[in-house]
A and B are shown apart, each in its own frame.
Chain A
Amino acid sequence: MLTNKVFIRKNKRGNVLKIIREHYLRTDLWCGSCCCIICPHEKHDLILAENPPSKSSIFKEPHYLMVDTNVILDQIDVFEEDVISNVIIVQTVIDEVKHRSSAIYKRLRDILTNPARKFYTFVNEHHRDTYIEREQKESSNDRNDRAIRKAALWYQNHLNKSTKESKKPKITIILLTDDAENRRKAQEEDKLVSCSVQTYVRSLSEHPYLQDKLCIKEYASESDKHPVYPPHLTVVQMHEGIKSGKLYQGSFVASRENFLEGSVNVECFEKFILVQGREALNRAIDGDTVCVELLPENEWTCPSEIVLEDNENDPIVETIEEDENEKILKESASKKQEKQPTGKIVGIIKRKWRQYCGILKPNEIKGTSRHIFIPAERKIPRVRIETRQAEKLYSKRIIVAIDQWPRHSRYPQGHFVRALGPLGDKETENEVLLIEHDVPHSKFSQEVLNCLPSLPWIISEQDYKERVDLRKIAICSVDPPGCTDIDDALHSRLLPNGNIEVGVHIADVSHFIRPGTAIDKEAASRATTVYLVDKRIDMVPELLSSNLCSLRGNVERFAFSCIWELDKNANIIATKFHKSVIKSKAALTYEEAQLIIDDKNKNDDIAKSLRRLNELAKILKRRRTENGALVLASPEIRFHIDSETNDPIEVAVKQLRETNSMVEEFMLLANVSVAEKIEKEFPEHAMLRRHPIPPQTNFEPLIKAVRHQGFDIDTSSGKHLAISLDNIVKDDNPYFNTMLRILATRCMLQAVYFISGTLTRSEFFHYGLAAPIYTHFTSPIRRYADIIVHRLLAACIGADSTYADLLDKTKNSLLCNNLNYRNRMAQYAGRASVALNTHLFFRNRSEEVEGYVLFVRKNALQILVPKYGLEGTIYLSGKNINAKFIYNEENQSQQCENIVFHSFDPVIVRLSLDSTNVQHEKLVFELVKPFIEGFSIQSNDNVMEIDETPQSPTMKRKPMEEAVAVGSGKKAGNKKKKK
């Protein structure tokens, strides 16, 4: 059964090595075809159909397809379609795909593992008859091509023999390859049937839409067209350049505001390397790993501070002359004070292309198949695609993949992947949102659902024995209204010695989600529950999240309890952890809880308990703030959704009560206590959460902005920052302080999960909370990190067994990376959802509201509208603007005649939705007050908001001195430390 072949490989790792590895060739690898009578197949090996129906107009006879590596790499979208089946993928191809692109490999693997698709893997590299050795002077690509042909030939002969003996219809092997030379060799030397993918897909006459998915790569020379971009360096040149220090490698980040600007994050530079202009950007797309060359210092510039959008209407005819935008960019950037290292991109090391959501731009030329695709993500350039179903797609959100970006093409070229749904449709838009933020949102697979406990779920005697019985204690939960996934509950009671026992009870999700099961893997991959305005994408199936794990009132539930003994001053005397059975006495909302606390007449257990907790929480909060915990702000709003249409009908800023803070404090306390415990028990393997101290450079915009207002801010430490923020108050502008906090929030870094063994103790610090150690323990229903922490804690107290991966540092670090990524994406998705609903809200209305100038840009003002938590831009120059603004760089202001705009100045703007372009609705900000001739618009008298601002008339002249009374925005804890 074994044949031994030793082959020799040369490996470059500093020096040339001769590597000898064994390579066993087998005779027990079968062909996987149902029509085969030669191979002794097992049932589950039979994948390829006995008589595959032909859908092709060229190849009428039954056939199997075989493909080469490039076909899979380029056309994976086509192969993901169910139409294509009965395909043989040889090991050579799989290995190469794996080597070249792990993303495509994963997709290919999904296809291969789905038996319904009838894709068979043939391990040709280990088959005695199909293994070939690389010949002298043969490149490895040629060798692989030959290996594929050899396998195809083997199959053809094998099947011929089989079908002849069994008198079944003959089956042809069709080798699909886009390499003409390979095709020629297959046809001439091996007498195989071979054609290009295009030819084959076009011949599938019943499935014309497949053609749109074809990735068309031009292998032909590009010389006949005028190149728009300079050529990229070869890999070797880049390597040498980087080695010699002339070139730098880094990841490219496109600017969100200016499509002709981007930056490259290079490790050896403290600052980003700025890249400006189309030629300098040289076809880099956000996320790519690129190779940059630094310009000489006299050509260095600084970020242009202007907002540019690609609005060209000319998709087909390319303008070769330097366009208007670029001129503006050059001018604006040329004379700046602080120059930044500037460079140009000379090559792409690794593309990070994915599939993009967006819309098709209507084409003025009817009937053409060439179109421009506008991605939803503004960082991504437009993509040129070919489709025959444009008419149908105009009104839809579609997904497109980029194939290549040749030098002569202004835009990258791509192909249509699929349509999501009609434009403006809520479902479609949500889908876009989820896809763009890479949120896994498919339904839970049957495998996952099989892991759920069967209903009715009964607590057994054994469970009672293993857990502490807390059913008699007055435990209650406090949550936002409408919350169904209740993962925490609280209690407190007086102890005989005068101390207070406080308990935090967290849903025992790890009881239901056992390590290594399908449900565990799924939850680990989802990492978090994602909250959209009108939708919740659960991390675990609903049965758990809203029922079995949710600590609902008056039902017995499993909990993981953290019990403290606190003295009157909220000092911890003792801490213990155990698993328990609880029966929550009431599931309250923040409002209800507040009412109970405030109602002096209520004196039952729960009321007493809540009051005690509230008192302690105040002490805890004060102590925390004294230690330097930051109170930050971000504008947060709530939509009231029409229950029938699901459209937002009202917007309100989220209300905050004492009880919010009360719950938060105890959750923080629990998290810290648990973090200490697991870190002590597993110093190398605890999953913790840290919030890195932001570098001082991050605070620069904040310091700058504050200085113009005549204040100084100390950002040297968290504590100083907190004190400074408390002190900088403008009596005439109460929202000023909130805006500062909003700005301060933007200076922060993201808090991240990590494994304790990977960092030093001093790096554990949580900056926002001023806690030396922190973790997430309190929301296992909606966060996977908490599940891991639960398991660790359970292992600490001996309540549960450990398992291999729990203490695997590398695996858990990878898990952390995923959790961090998903969390960030979930946060973005949530915000995008709010933005989406704001759009919907303004669909048929316009409103005049107070706003504040957040930043003054060279050609625009950025406005924050606290009422809607919205941020928008008012352009100060352009075609239809007559007013002349003078930009003062010194104190960051814009002046038009006698009206001056500074940061933090209050304004009144009108918000409306520009629906002229059905595909691309935009929220438009227009200045109402102060009134500038030829720029501002007339106020509508019938809009209420103006009347609510009593001082508004005086604002026209001296906006600086005027104050506007505005309700304060949310002053909640920083987003990251949401309980």
Chain B
Amino acid sequence: MAQELLSLQGLRIDGRRQNELRQIQCRLGVLERCDGSAYMLHGNTKVIASISGPKHPTKNSANKNRGGDEFIFNVRVKFATFSKNGERQKVVKNSKKLGEIEINLKNIFKSVILVEKYEKSQLDLNIEILQTDGSEICTVVNAATLALIDAGICMKEYICACTASLTNDGVALLDVSHLEEICGGPTLTIAALPRTGDHEQSVAYVELSQKFYLKDLNKIFDCALMGCEKIRGILDEAIRSNAFELVNSELTNN
């Protein structure tokens, strides 16, 4: 069914305008038994990310690393059985798709973590996707950023990810929902380091779901980057309000 992604009145299927994000909610430190964690709601996509470490490498991963002194960064992504729109599905472990996501995440975050500070130690990032409604990778990236920050890992920048798509008439749509992914054109996922100030944004990761024309690239790219910047704002606010609470208590006592 060819559904119109953008109505005559300029509204998308779920009532957003072309350059609006879905509602994003996030919380840091939701899990007590790990070193850092975050819960992220991006529309109906829900993700929990947790960090364990940095710690002494377990024997298993030390063996894998062949005894080198490098920083070991493990990423595990899991889709909950009930994650796909309430339909219970068999979960495929170690599927190719998951493996790919894991490798991508690893590379994305290795590019911002100050790796030299964590030589010889191991960091585990566990991600559980509780519900999916489009733009899962972004939500995962954003949640992981929060979890890493919560764990006090040294990083150069936040990494924020966002998607953008294109209607048939060539209008770029920000933050693609599941329905729009199905009905729509190409989906561009980018993970960027949206620096504030006059610095240029640098991009850590780009993924495209289908081919499209070069002339549209700038439009869709700019749209997604703008989304990243907006998300950065949201993450920053969440981090600050969380930090505020901590700092407040600490300082009253010191």
Q: Which residues of A are interface residues toward B (Cβ below 8 A)? A: 2, 4, 6, 17-26, 29, 109, 112-113, 121, 123, 125-126, 803-804
Contacts and interface: CB of A to CB of B under 8 A. Distances in A.
A109 B9 CA distance: 12
A4 B23 CA distance: 7
Interface stretch (B14-22, B142-150, B190-198, B241-249): B14-22
B154 interface: no
Interface string B211-227: 01101100000000000
Which one of B11, B15, B179 has the greatest number of beta carbons of chain A within 10 Å? Answer: B15
B179 A21 contact: yes
Contact of A18 (B11, B22, B85, B177): B85
Contact of B15 (A25, A109, A113): A25
- Interface bin, chain B: 20 to 34
Contacts of A19: 85-86
B194 to A, nearest CB: 21
Interface of B: 7-9, 11, 14-16, 20, 22-23, 43-44, 85-87, 133, 177, 179, 212-213, 215-216
Contacts of B213: 803-804
Nearest to B179: A21
A23 B44 contact: no
A113 B8 CA distance: 9
B8 A26 contact: no
B8 A18 contact: no
A791 to B, nearest CB: 14
27 contacts: A2-B20, A6-B44, A17-B85, A18-B85, A19-B85, A19-B86, A20-B44, A20-B86, A21-B14, A21-B44, A22-B14, A22-B43, A22-B133, A23-B14, A24-B14, A25-B15, A26-B11, A26-B15, A29-B9, A121-B8, A123-B9, A126-B11, A803-B213, A804-B212, A804-B213, A804-B215, A804-B216
Nearest to B14: A22
B65 to A, nearest CB: 42
Contact of A121 (B9, B20, B85, B215): B9
Contacts of B215: 804
B23 A2 contact: yes
B15 A126 contact: yes
A638 to B, nearest CB: 44
B44 A22 contact: yes
A26 B212 CA distance: 32
B163 to A, nearest CB: 15
Contacts of B216: 804
B9 A2 contact: no
Contact of B177 (A17, A22, A803, A804): A22
A125 B13 CA distance: 11
Contacts of B179: 21
Nearest to B9: A123
Contacts of A21: 14, 44, 133, 177, 179
Contacts of B85: 17-20
- Top-9 shortest CB links A-B: A24-B15, A126-B15, A18-B86, A804-B213, A22-B14, A4-B23, A123-B9, A22-B43, A24-B16
Contact of B133 (A17, A20, A112): A20
A759 B213 CA distance: 25
Contacts, number: 54
Contacts of A109: 8
B15 A23 contact: yes
B208 to A, nearest CB: 14
Contacts of A26: 11, 15
A19 B14 CA distance: 13
Contacts of A804: 212-213, 215-216
A112 B7 CA distance: 12
A63 to B, nearest CB: 23
A900 B7 CA distance: 69
A552 B84 CA distance: 65
Contacts of A4: 23
A109 B86 CA distance: 36
A450 B14 CA distance: 36
Contacts of B9: 29, 121, 123
Contacts of A126: 11, 15
Contacts of B87: 17
B38 to A, nearest CB: 20
Given A109-B8, A804-B213, A17 B15 contact: no
Given A4-B23, A22-B14, A22-B44, 19 more contacts: A2-B16, A2-B20, A2-B23, A6-B44, A19-B86, A20-B44, A20-B86, A21-B44, A21-B179, A23-B14, A23-B15, A24-B14, A24-B15, A26-B11, A109-B8, A121-B8, A123-B11, A126-B11, A126-B15
B219 to A, nearest CB: 12
A19 B179 CA distance: 11
A970 B153 CA distance: 88
Which one of A2, A19, A24, A113 has the greatest number of beta carbons of chain B within 10 Å? Answer: A24
A814 to B, nearest CB: 10
A804 B86 CA distance: 37
Which one of A6, A20, A25 has the greatest number of beta carbons of chain B within 10 Å? Answer: A20
Contact of B8 (A24, A112, A125): A112
Contacts of A20: 44, 85-86, 133
A2 B15 CA distance: 9
Nearest to B213: A804
A195 B32 CA distance: 64
A183 B22 CA distance: 38
Nearest to A98: B4
A108 to B, nearest CB: 11
A385 to B, nearest CB: 34
A24 B43 CA distance: 10
A250 B43 CA distance: 43
B86 to A, nearest CB: 4
Contacts of A17: 85-87
Which one of A4, A23, A112, A803 has the greatest number of beta carbons of chain B within 10 Å? Answer: A4
A588 B253 CA distance: 103
A125 B16 CA distance: 12
A810 to B, nearest CB: 9
Which one of A17, A22, A25 has the greatest number of beta carbons of chain B within 10 Å? Answer: A22
Which one of A20, A21, A25, A121 has the greatest number of beta carbons of chain B within 10 Å? Answer: A21
A123 B12 CA distance: 11
B21 to A, nearest CB: 9
A112 B9 CA distance: 11
Contacts of A25: 15
A22 B133 CA distance: 9
A126 B11 CA distance: 9
A6 B44 CA distance: 9
A21 B20 CA distance: 16
A88 B212 CA distance: 38
A19 B178 CA distance: 11
